[in-house]
Structure 1
Amino acid sequence: MATPQDLQDLIRLFTVGRKIPMMQAMAQIKALQAVELRSIKQIAESALETVQSAIKDEKTAKSLQNACKAALKREASSGTKRGAPSSPAHPAKRAKNAFMNVPVEMTPQEFESSLELPIIMDEDKIRQTVVEMNRAPLVLAFAVELLRYTMPEQPPSSRLSLAQAVVSANSRSKAVSLGFQKGPSADEEGWGEGQPRVKVMGREVAVLKRGGYEWKGEENVGGDAAATSGGSAVTTESASAEKAQTQSPLSVAAPATPKPVWATSAPISLKDSKFIARAIHLSSPSERGTLMKSLFNAQPQLRSASHNAWAYRLRPSEGSMSNRPREESFDDGETGCGDLMLRIMREINAVDTLVVLTRWFGGTMLGPDRWRLMRNVVTSALTEQFRKSGAEVSLGGEAVWGLDLEAAKNKATVGGYGSGTKLHATTGVVGMQIHRPEAARGYLLKSIAMKDEATSSSPARRKSMHKTHKMREAEREEALGLLLGALRMLFDSWADDLDTAELDRRAWGWYCAVRPDVENGVAGWGSKGAVRLDSILDLRRPERK
């Protein structure tokens, strides 16, 4: 009888050993299972005609059977069984296990903290700084900071992975144009077929959902529930009223008009700002005012909030010429909040629903973190609303990895073109390789330096200015912090004026405006040049008069 391990071994044989795309591999495995060939051993020991009845092509069937026989011989010569646990790794190496979503013995919070990048927001110092780097890591830096604004729900590890996927794809395209590479890319050959995609700096990249990966930043979830919602977690605000009715000795009297039942998120607080969202069924636009009035009467503390933004989506009215849902939103001073709520509702196809998002401003600007926090509370409230109504929903905003399709095709390095790393890594899904965030972070740190006299003066002068390895590491970290600080100030200046799609579109143009000058053609491949950080600051949105 075949086991789950047999299936994993087959998938590995097809995708890694025979370099067959995952979708095609699964189709062939399904055909083999239909003729009762469910393991490498069964395929190796069966008659060729049986294998051919599933695969249809005699040459391919024979090649597959030979590959299975070779796999069995390797197993016999090594003296191990497939799926048997190997000897435990050295403790120092366990934390770098590349086959895990999160390194062994690290919580998601610890993992994300280990990937933290330096950031320096000193404008005077930024304006005085010139760094030296090549173009690929500058694209990486642009993409990492851009994703804080366009995909704020993604944890730092996902942003690094996605940014490296963009660098890898861009570098391969450049290599093809220069004649270093030939033939179609792995993506063009279908290695990313069936996988979801996201757009970063105008380029679509295939991604893999990190099912169940939960991460939060520095915010406190549920800490001040009593102060903000009258409850302690995701709940319905009629619960206390229902409980009071049950315990009241006057419960035999005529029932009162039922109160609206709101699904409520757990409150989230960060830097003294507090967010909470509520969702409720809505039948018509005219009900919105009545529902919100009843909410404020039941929760009078909401009147003191800085913002009470709302959004709703309704099914098309009967007899309407359009089949598009009716939508409306109001920011109440929280710029972009209404559009964000509508976007989340579209992602999960929520209709006949009103969402109210409340924020108490704590006095400190949160930057792109506010988008992530707003998404979290709105998603939480909608999840509870759907749970109560019994509807099925697949929420967006899941954490993802950037897939390394070239590595899957060629057994290339995990970082892809431009990363310089030789580490192999896959996800927990057999045969699907990803861009590891650790490699992307390391690439950023090692590929940048301050441009000073040591880079341009005579050998004797450079020798007199010799710096220790530790000093150079500190200098690189400072250079990267200043670069990322300049980029954050650039994106901050435009974030409230541009939607995420437009911000993504403009990012590539901004990169082109400040990228280092290098020679054209092959001579400039991988060459470094100067990047003046004040040129990045000059791209900021002009201040309003």
Structure 2
Amino acid sequence: MATQQDLQELLRLLTVTRKVPMMQAMAHIKALQGVNLRRASIKQIAEAPQPDVESAIKDAKAARALQNACKAAVKLGVTGGKRPAAAGATSGAAAKRAKLGDGDGGMGGPAQMTPQELERSLELPLCTDEEMIAGTVLQTNRAPLVLAFAVELLRYTMPEQPLSSRLSLAQAVVSANSRSKAVSIGIEKGPSAEEEGYGEGQPRVRVMGREVAVLKRGGYKWKGDEEVGEGADQAKETQETSTTSVVLDTPTPTWSVSQPVTLKSSTFVARAAAITDASQRSKMLADLMAANPKLQTATHNAWAYRIKLYSGASFMREDSFDDGEAGCGDLLLRVMREVSAVDTIVVLTRWYGGIMLGPDRWRLMRDCATGALAGRLRKTGAEVSLGGEAVWGLDLEAARNRPSGIGGGGGGYGSSRNETSVVGMHIHRPEAARSYLLRSFASATPEPTAAAPADAGGGGGGDGDGGGAKAKKGATPKKKTQKALDAEKEENLGLLLGAIRLVFDSWADHLAPADLDRRAWSWYTAVRPDVDSGPSGWGAKGSLKLKTILDLRRKED
């Protein structure tokens, strides 16, 4: 019987060493298990008769290459068991493991860090002082500016993603754009890793108009600063209705209730129940309010429902109501579509605490809605795959180019410093993306001012210094230390992110997330530094006036 470790090691050998696309590698493993190689381990394949391997792989040359690779791996000690280690190397290996860490399946940062600690360690500087922003001019190249735009954009289009995921996704966009640009100007040739089948079968998300392959971070539990209540008195809430009701003779609805979530004095809670006809909606809401008088004190009671018109129908009847919580109804419908919820109504309640939450409200509303839907669908026995999981951006070029990558330190694509592999899959590390941002925005060198003109009265008289003909030379500015330069770059990054956030804040309540994503690229191209269009402009730096970013804000009517 194949163990998980056996399968992972064989899958890694196929995808990393043999560079076989993931879907094809899975098919090879299934075929091997069908020819008396049930364990499908590297050692078993190495010791198996060659005809057995060839009967599974079909291609004799590929089968021999696979068996030879397995034999080489066995020689190196890559078998289904633990590798022997020299006694003297034990402490060094342990120290290395402690340094690298393998939390979240090897991809979530140091093992000793909780998700909350990881997210706090990745926090970025932010300054929204408009006067300071307007007077700042930076010296940078284009790639880190794309990264900054993407990180801030994802706060609004995918607010359920933690900062670590937003950094990883943003770096995936930068790497894909860099690769496309390299091909267009002749620096790179040939098909991309994606075109060669790397990342095939992986889910994808769209960021700044570009689709990137992602990997779900299974088991990664993260939340912001909100407080999650127990909700014990509501977990099994049942809405009782009068037995004399004759409205379509509906059964007593059972409401599944999410855990209440509180952030900055605002509290959110969601409820979900079955509904089979739109005419039931008003009666159900009235009964819900009567049974829970506290709901009548809420600031907003938004709702949405999806109903199948008849058995076998592909068209759904959908309706929603924001009740003053802008965009909430559309969000509820979107979440219901993601989990394929039908004949279901969701009510989301908010008690407003007097403090604007910004994009965090979208994440909290989504969490509550999915929690209520999950509870209801579990009760009906339906299978549900909740949306909104944290994800990593996959580094497809690194998977193909390993161990040598092109570009460096977060700016290029396929960089070995950005990759982490688990079962042959490489991701963009958030730490590398953050480091790239912190070191990429220097202050522009002030343009030299013209020398003061000579005194018009110079040349005559015996006093003075000849009318300024011997003007003093400007003092050479003192060279800054590396520590001072790093601090300046960090401050500049905060001003840049503040400028971008002010732009997105001005548009967020007026554009849907998809529209905001489409506009983000045009905003970037409107302000990016001017560089040569050919190979000479690759990685070149230019000036970026932050005032031009502020000018992108929505003009109030």
The residue type equivalent to 2:82 in the other structure is G
Cα distance in 2 for residues equivalent to 1:233 and 1:123: 47
CA distance in 2, matches of 1:528, 1:93: 38
1:312 lines up with 2:305 in the alignment: yes
The CA deviation string for residues 434-454 of structure 1, in whole angstroms up to 9 with x for no partner, is 001111101111111122439
Q: Specify which of 219, 225, 236 is matched with residue 226 of structure 2.
A: 219
Deviations 1:51-88 (A, max 9, x none): 21111122222222222222222239xxx985348635
Question: 1:11 corresponds to which letter in structure 2?
Answer: L
CA shift, 1:171, in A, is: 0.1
Q: What residue ranges of structure 2 are gaps of 5+ in the alignment? A: 242-249, 451-472
- Pick one of 493, 503, 521 that aligns with 1:508: 521
Q: Does 1:64 align with 2:66?
A: yes
Q: Which residue is 2:463 aligned to?
A: none
After superposition, the C-alpha distances for 1:87-106 in whole angstroms (9 at most, x for unaligned) are 35455862533633342111
Distance in 1, matches of 2:101 and 2:32, equals 33
Give the Cα–Cα distance (whole angstroms) in 2 for the partners of residues 53 and 146 of structure 1. Answer: 51
Which residue in 2 is equivalent to 1:191? 198
Query: 1:527-538 to 2 correspondence within 5 Å?
Result: 527-538=540-551
Deviates more, 1:515-524 or 1:388-397: 388-397
- SS of the residue corresponding to residue 346 of structure 2 reads strand
Which of the residues 499, 513, 530 maps onto 2:512?
499
Does 1:423 pair with 2:417? Answer: yes
Q: Which amino acid aligns with 1:468?
A: T
Structure 2 match to 1:254: none
Distance 1:27 1:93 in 2: 33
Stretch moving more, 406-415 or 273-282: 406-415
Correspondence for 1:121: 128
CA contact (8 A) 1:518 1:524 kept: yes
Please give the alpha-carbon distance, in whole angstroms, between the structure 1 residues aligned to 2:372 and 2:136: 46
Code of the residue aligned with 2:321 in structure 1: it is: F
CA 1:81–1:352: 2 relative to 1, 3 Å: closer
Matched, 1:157 2:164: yes
Are 1:237 and 2:237 counterparts? yes
Tell me what 1:261 maps to.
254
SS in 2 for 1:116: coil
Distance change >3 Å, CA 388–CA 363, structure 1 → 2: same
Residue 367, structure 1, aligned to residue 395, structure 2: no
Q: C-alpha offsets along residues 183-242 of structure 1, whole Å, 9 cap, x if unaligned?
A: 1001011111110000000000000111121100011111xx7xxxxx437613239x89
- Within-5 A mapping of 1:322-471: 323-411=314-402, 412-413=404-405, 418=412, 422-423=416-417, 425-427=419-421, 429-453=422-446, 464-471=477-484
Greater mean alpha carbon deviation, residues 124-133 or residues 135-144: 124-133
Determine which of 40, 45, 49 is the counterpart of 1:43.
45
Query: Match of 2:537?
Result: 524
> Structure 1 residues 341, 279: closer, same or farther in 2, change over 3 A?
same
Following TM superposition, by how much is the alpha carbon of 1:384 offset from its aligned partner in structure 2, in angstroms? 1.2
1:17 aligns with 2:26: no
C-alpha distance 128-92 of structure 1, shift in aligned 2 (>3 A): farther
Which protein has the larger Cα radius of gyration, Structure 1 or Structure 2? 2
- In 2, Cα distance between equivalents of 1:139 and 1:461: 38
1:467 Cα deviation from its structure 2 partner: 1.3
| 1:299-332, Cα deviation, whole Å (9 max, x unpaired) | 112222111111111111479xx73110000001
Alignment match of 2:489 (pick from 476, 479, 486): 476
Asked if the contact 2:270/2:349 (under 8 Å) is kept, the reply is yes
412-421 vs 104-113, greater mean Cα deviation: 412-421
CA distance in 2, matches of 1:300, 1:181: 66
Identity among equivalent pairs (%)? 62
Q: Distance in 2 between matches of 1:218 and 1:85?
A: 45
- How much does 1:420 deviate? 9.3
- Specify the code of the residue in structure 1 equivalent to 2:279: S
* TM superposition shift of 1:456: 11
Q: How many Å apart are 1:269 and its aligned residue?
A: 0.9
Classify the secondary structure of the residue corresponding to 1:406. helix
Shift in alpha-carbon separation, 1:17–1:454, aligned structure 2, 3 A: farther
Secondary structure, in 3 states, of the residue corresponding to 1:464? Answer: coil
Partner of 1:103: 110
Question: Is the Cα–Cα contact under 8 Å of residues 450 and 479 in structure 1 kept in the other structure?
Answer: yes
d(CA) in 2 for partners of 1:192 and 1:406? 10
- What is the aligned counterpart of 1:53 among 41, 52, 55? 55
Take 1:510 and 1:82, find their aligned partners in 2: how far apart are those partners? 54
Task: List runs of 5+ in structure 1 lacking aligned partners.
Answer: 226-230, 243-256
Residue in structure 2 matching 1:175, options 182, 192, 195: 182
| TM-score, length-scaled by structure 1 | 0.89
CA-to-aligned-CA distance 1:40-60 (integer Å, 9 cap, x gap): 223223332222111112222
* Equivalent pair of 1:44/1:65 in contact (CA under 8 Å): yes
User: CA-atom RMSD, angstroms?
Assistant: 2.7
Deviation (angstroms), 1:2: 5.3
Match of 2:142 among 135, 139, 151: 135
Distance 1:500 1:415, change over 3 A: farther
Q: CA deviation at 1:419?
A: 6.5
Per the TM alignment, residue 462 of structure 1 is displaced from its structure 2 partner at its CA by 10
In 2, the alpha carbon distance for the partners of 1:346 and 1:52 equals: 45
How far apart are 1:422 and its partner, in Å? 4.2
* 1:349-396 Cα deviation digits (max 9, x unpaired): 111111111111111111100100100111111111112222221111
